Amino acid sequence: MKPTNDTFLRALLRQPTEYTPIWLMRQAGRYLPEYNATRKRAGSFLALAQSPDLATEVTMQPVDRYPLDAAILFSDILTVPDAMGLGLHFVDGEGPRFARPVRSEADVAALAAPDPEDRLRYVMDAVRSIRGALAGRIPLIGFSGSPWTLACYMVEGGGSDDFRTVKEMLYRRPDLMQRILDVNVRAVTDYLNAQIRAGAQAVMIFDTWGGVLADPAFRAFSLDPMTRVVQGLQREAEGERVPCIVFTKGGGVWLEDLAQTGADAVGVDWTVDLGRARARIGGRCALQGNLDPMALLAGAEPACAEARRILDSFGDPQRGDGTWDGHVFNLGHGISQFTDPEAVAALVETVHAHSRGLRGRGA
């Protein structure tokens, strides 16, 4: 069933829209006082993410506050490797850590894709709960980390500045890395398909660390696994197309390759000029992006000026032949916890209003 406001879905499918839709990466997050209150009540980030009721509550907070065009499931990309038994926990000031990182042949051999309806059932319950809370207002986005990005955390045991452990494995034992990625492809595909069955109306693959790779390594260890995931996705549910977005942070150099994955849209970070990106990929897929999240820290006026510049760069999504190039406005990465909520309100209003004025001007 289509939501009442399906502008986001139509933009992803390069269909006519009255304005450019907007949602924000990490839109349910620490910049919102109501989120911080709920997180405090939960006691920890993991407790918050693993409670379907609380995940629903925080997912709804930004869409109740702002006229956003999509909601995104509140969860974490590391739920999948946690379900593999790696022991996810969070260390204050350091971020996520795995008690049992994957480094030896035995570690790799023991890996298996989890059943998403078993150890990840709480995520599917959250998807179902959020769909009920949205009551058909706007679409719900499900998501996962990419196979490569998950592998980075699984091998490093957490975040990293230089990725030396995972890169050493990549170059020294590419066979082990391929085995990890094969498991992750199966796990991510199963996980996203389970979210679609539970009610996700679009899905996004976050390839946060693809941009740290050299070109041949990116193609072999990031792009190829993502393409396999996209090809394995269920693309229709409830009688409607379920669009897929792929996003590689730092991936502007591979834009054409990302557009060839079979995804309906490619997300780009703030280092990419949106107009040139549109020219490069033509009508192959839609684009999503790409305001620098730090622009919002400067306040509403500078952020909105930058948003208008980005929209002008993309131009009228309608081509001269009557076809459409879809654009979903977003940040180039996650919103900062230091963002003023009022700046976000101004941004959403500006994107809606300014993009309406671009319609009919020609591409």
Could you list the active site residues? 26, 30, 39, 76, 153
Query: Distance (Å, rounded) from C-alpha 10 to C-alpha 240?
Result: 11
| Amino acid (1-letter code) at residue 293 | P
| Exposed / middle / buried, residue 14 (Cβ in 10 Å: 0-12, 13-18, 19+) | buried
Chain-centre distance for alpha carbon 102: 25
Q: Cβ–Cβ contacts within 10 Å for residue 150, how many?
A: 28
Take residue 74 and report the two structure tokens written for it.
Answer: 């509140």
Dihedral of CA atoms 259, 262, 266, 272 in degrees, nearest 10, equals: -10
Expressed in angstroms, the distance from the first to the final Cα of the chain is: 31
CB atoms within 10 A of CB 321: 7
In this structure, what is the dihedral angle of CA atoms 207, 212, 216, 221, given to the nearest 10 degrees?
Answer: -40
Burial of 153 (0-12, 13-18, 19+ CB in 10 A): buried
Distance CA 340, CA 69 (A): 20
Cα–Cα distance measured from residue 149 to residue 77, given in angstroms and rounded to the nearest whole number: 9
Partners of 266 in beta bridges: 246, 287
Whether residue 290 has a cis bond before it, omega within 30° of 0:
yes
Nearest-5° Cα angle at 86, 125 to 232? 55
- What tokens does 155 get? 């091998």
